[in-house]
Amino acid sequence: MASKNRLIVVANRLPVNRVKKKGRLAWETSPGGLVSALKPFLTETGGSWVGWGGSPGKAPTPFTHENIQIRPVSVTAEQVEKFYAGFSNATLWPLYHDCVRTPQFHRRWWWPYVDVNRQFAEAAAAEAKPGDTVWVHDYQLQLVPAMLREIMPDVRIGFFLHIPFPPLELFAQLPWRREILTGILGADIAGFQTPQGARNFSAACKRYAEASGTDTKLEHRGHTVVSKAFPISIDIENVEQAVTSKEVIDRAEELRKDFASKRAGERKILLGVDRLDYTKGIEIRLRAYEELLRRGAHTVDDCVLVQVAVPSRETVGEYAELRAFVERLTGRINGEYGQAGRTAVHYFRRNLDYKELMAFYRAADVMLVTPLRDGMNLVAKEYVIAKTGEERAGTLVLSEFAGAANELGGGALLVNPHDVDGLAATMDVSITMPESEVQRRMGLLQRAVRKNDVYGWAHGFLEALRS
């Protein structure tokens, strides 16, 4: 039943994928936490989702899917290259992740970013009615809040940034810093993963966008904007259900045998699961593992590294380079330290299906989450819940530069992900940690993650937006 005040979600991608079923094209709900978290709110209010369908060219006409109005936005092939691969992923992505790669500033990318943001704002305005709530997501669409407010002043607008908002000194480099800040300031609430992100945003607005106010409340051209942390989480129940199913338990056991068994005793499984992205710290993690083996305190007889990497943004130059580098390094480590029947690093470049991923988590003794910078990092939270009901707990090694460190710092082993020696030393500690300490830390982690799931996150944001 559609209620009066609807929710309209605006995100780069639609919550549905085009698939071929029995020779005919159909739409299927895409997997993912964001989609499942927002679905109840959308179906309850007869809400809409505005986004790109994933193929360049003319967009399909709006349609209804599982009681959600879907409004696809057209994005041309040239815009995909300049707005998406260019400005979003080669300018903003590195700039917002502490410049771990040099951001590229090109005017020829900026204008398509403005154009595509306007297309999204117009599509949102076509869906919204006065009194509705519009929730805009992420770095690709930072101009949408102000553009939409100009067309429709009488809607509530929320904006959530999934990646970090950088410190003032780095953000200051952006030639279009004022335009971006003014864009977000069109929202009633600007949400971030951490309190630091919210503070960075407020500081930048006061310095470069003539806003006044505090770390959490800004005044801009007579409009009040709340700047606040809303740490995202996972669908806890979904993970629990999967990992307590016989299928996943058996598969985890099988993986343990495949990776970890040796003639006498067992090897400790160290696991990394990431998009193949230069912000995730995969190469330094591999070098630290190499250092651990070089020191001789551990050998392939007592530990093994399993790295699962999903291919990502392969048309962007830096990503292709990273892949080549990671693959060379893996080969070098195996060449140097592998033994017959005992590979040092198992490297999988693929997307695992959900249950398989859960079985990998469950089988792992140590989870290595070592991004150089990360908005939150859901892998860390998934791993913790994947250990539900498992006698053999596990240790989380977590970068102090992941948003998740704010909530999980108590139970995890925190590391500086740039420090090869420090990381190798922490790997050593995690491999030799007494079982009672592993259990104690896992207890702390589980309590911390269970405080907030992705539904609580969405509910908290929307409550704040509607009040």
- Interface with ligand ADQ by CB under 6 A: which residues? 162-163, 232, 273-275, 308, 310, 351-352, 357, 374-379, 382
CB of 359 to ligand ADQ, least distance (A): 12
Give the long-range contacts of residues 166-170, CB within 8 A, separation 24 or more. Answer: 166/95, 166/96, 166/97, 166/98, 166/99, 166/200, 167/200, 168/200, 168/203, 168/204, 168/207, 170/95, 170/98, 170/99
How many other β-carbons are positioned within 10 Å of the β-carbon of residue 2? Answer: 11
CB of 357 to ligand ADQ, least distance (A): 5
| Rounded Cα distance, 345 and 327, in Å | 11
CB of 275 to ligand ADQ, least distance (A): 5
340 Cβ neighbours under 8 A, 6+ residues apart: none
CB of 379 to ligand ADQ, least distance (A): 4
CB of 454 to ligand ADQ, least distance (A): 9
* CA angle in degrees (0–180, nearest 5) for 331-336-342: 80
Q: Which is nearer to ligand ADQ, 187 or 309 (CB)?
A: 309
How many other β-carbons are positioned within 10 Å of the β-carbon of residue 315? Answer: 11
Catalytic, 106? Answer no
Q: In the numeric block, which tokens belong to residue 354?
A: 């959900």
| Rounded Cα distance, 109 and 417, in Å | 31
Residue in this structure with the two tokens 């060449």, named with its chain if needed: 335
Q: b/e map of 317-334 (b: 16 or more CB within 10 Å)?
A: ebbeebbeebeebbeebb
CB of 273 to ligand ADQ, least distance (A): 5
Which candidate in 162, 346, 418, 459 is catalytic? 162
By the 8 A CB rule, do 267 and 301 touch? yes
By the 8 A CB rule, do 85 and 315 touch? yes
363 Cβ neighbours under 8 A, 6+ residues apart: 252, 253, 255, 256, 259, 260, 269, 271
Q: Which is nearer to ligand ADQ, 65 or 162 (CB)?
A: 162
Q: Which is nearer to ligand ADQ, 125 or 376 (CB)?
A: 376
Q: Which is nearer to ligand ADQ, 180 or 232 (CB)?
A: 232
Which of 381, 373, 369 lies closest to 414 in space, CA to CA? 369
Q: Which is nearer to ligand ADQ, 51 or 375 (CB)?
A: 375
β-pair partners for 275: 310
Element (H, E) at 433: none
Q: Which is nearer to ligand ADQ, 297 or 310 (CB)?
A: 310
Which candidate in 132, 274, 374, 453 is catalytic? 374
- Return the percent helix, strand and coil in the chain, to nearest 5: 45, 20, 30
CB of 126 to ligand ADQ, least distance (A): 27
Q: What is the DSSP string of 296-351?
A: TSS-TTTEEEEEEEE---TTSHHHHHHHHHHHHHHHHHHHHH-BTTB-SEEEEESP
Q: Which is nearer to ligand ADQ, 112 or 371 (CB)?
A: 371
Catalytic, 162? Answer yes
Q: Which is nearer to ligand ADQ, 160 or 337 (CB)?
A: 160
3-state SS assignment for residue 231: coil
CB of 176 to ligand ADQ, least distance (A): 22
Residue in this structure with the two tokens 């699962």, named with its chain if needed: 308
Based on its alpha-carbon atoms, the radius of gyration of the chain, rounded to whole angstroms, reads 23
Which residues belong to the active site?
Answer: 162, 374
